[in-house]
Structures are given as structure tokens and as C-alpha cells.
A and B are shown apart, each in its own frame.
Chain A
């Protein structure tokens, strides 16, 4: 119930393409869904987040799509660039402290 399942484990996308990473959850009490980006040697950094009262949130080239009925949310990176190469983590939380993390997706953008 507390798990967040993330896929794929790794992803290779050509420069300029669309990168899509998916996450699924079971706990309907989750009300906060962030995506974090982690570069080698650094801690994860918040990229974009959504709450379940909206179906989509866009910030620049990054978009979260949220499907409440399917209990799924995804990160779309438009016009993917080599600088987007990183590991991406989805997470979910109720209104308490604990973020439940996905296993991560290693994204490689090929020039």
C-alpha cells in the first residue's frame, strides 16, 4: 500500500525527443507527488510536483501528468537535452513527513 512503483529502470532518448517516466501508487491517501532529479555526486533536487486536484502541471520543458482514477502519474521531458541526463525519482506523500520513493530511472540523452 505504501509502495510507489517506477518504470522504466533506465531510458535512452535521442536529443530533441520526449522522455517519459511513469509511476504508480496504491495508497489513495497520497496527496503530494513530486519528481526529483539527481546528478552524479549530488543529492536529489526537487524538479516539479503536483497535487491530485489537477491533472497536469507544466514547468518549462517538464510536465507531470496525473491520472487519479488509474493511480498513476508520469514525468514528460519535452525536447530532451544531454544536460537532462540524470536519475529521476518519483515520490508520494500524505500530509505527513514521509516521502515514499520510487526506485529511480536513469535517463541518458544521446546527442
Chain B
């Protein structure tokens, strides 16, 4: 596609429920990143996928967070047993060949846990 597409754009969920967020990267971009951005805060790295290599999960805040990516296409970020502190905008970015200068972000999914 022309840009990075994320869905849903907004998600309200009850505390304790599981949520799944989706990211469609730019076609041909082999690298995909997930970030979390709390209200008025900077970008918090969560996870990085590059081709068929093992993902870098070093930013995932707890074992309630997991992410998958099929090949070089769609990725899903799953948050289990959501907590109120999970409320944030979850941003996805992709880049060609994992190079920093090709970073392109989607518009994010705003998650609200009530």
C-alpha cells in the first residue's frame, strides 16, 4: 500500500479483556516496528521484526504483550488482560531493509482501557 495502515484507529476495552491491534506495512518494507506513546509522552519501543530473523522483543513491558508477523506482511500486537496503564496510542512503523532512514509511521491505534 501507499502508507502504513493500522486498525482499528480507536479501541475502547474493558479492563481484563484481550485486544489485538493490526499493522499493514508499506509493501516491500522488510522491517516493522511497534511503539507505544502515552498521552503527551515520547515514543517507547516495543518490538522489531526484520524479515525472517528472530524479532527483537526487548521493549515489551510484560508477558501480557506479544506480537506476530507473517513473513514481510501484516503484524498483530496482542495485549492480554488489559490494564488501565495500557491506555496509549500504539504506533507501527516500517522501513526498507531495516534501515533507520526509511522509517514511516502509521496513524496509530488509540487504546483506552476502562
Contact = CB atoms under 8 A, between A and B. Distances in A.
18 contacts: A32-B100, A41-B107, A41-B108, A42-B107, A46-B103, A46-B104, A91-B100, A93-B100, A93-B101, A95-B99, A95-B100, A96-B98, A96-B100, A97-B50, A97-B100, A98-B48, A98-B100, A101-B42
Contacts of B91: 43-44
Contacts, number: 54
SS class, residues of chain B in contact with chain A: mixed
Given A93-B100, A97-B99, A43 B42 contact: no
Interface residues of A, number: 22
Given A95-B100, A99-B103, A104-B43, 16 more contacts: A41-B107, A41-B108, A42-B108, A43-B91, A43-B108, A45-B105, A46-B103, A46-B104, A93-B100, A96-B98, A97-B33, A97-B95, A97-B98, A98-B45, A99-B100, A102-B42
Interface string A92-111: 01011111011110100000
A44 B33 CA distance: 13
Given A89-B42, A98-B45, A49 B101 contact: yes
Interface string A57-68: 000000000000
A68 B106 CA distance: 32
Interface residues of B, number: 23
Identify which of B33, B45, B99, B101 gathers the most chain A CB atoms within 10 Å of its CB.
Answer: B101
Contacts of B79: none
Task: List 4 A-B pairs, minimum CB-CB distance, nearest first.
Answer: A43-B105, A93-B100, A97-B98, A103-B42
A10 to B, nearest CB: 10
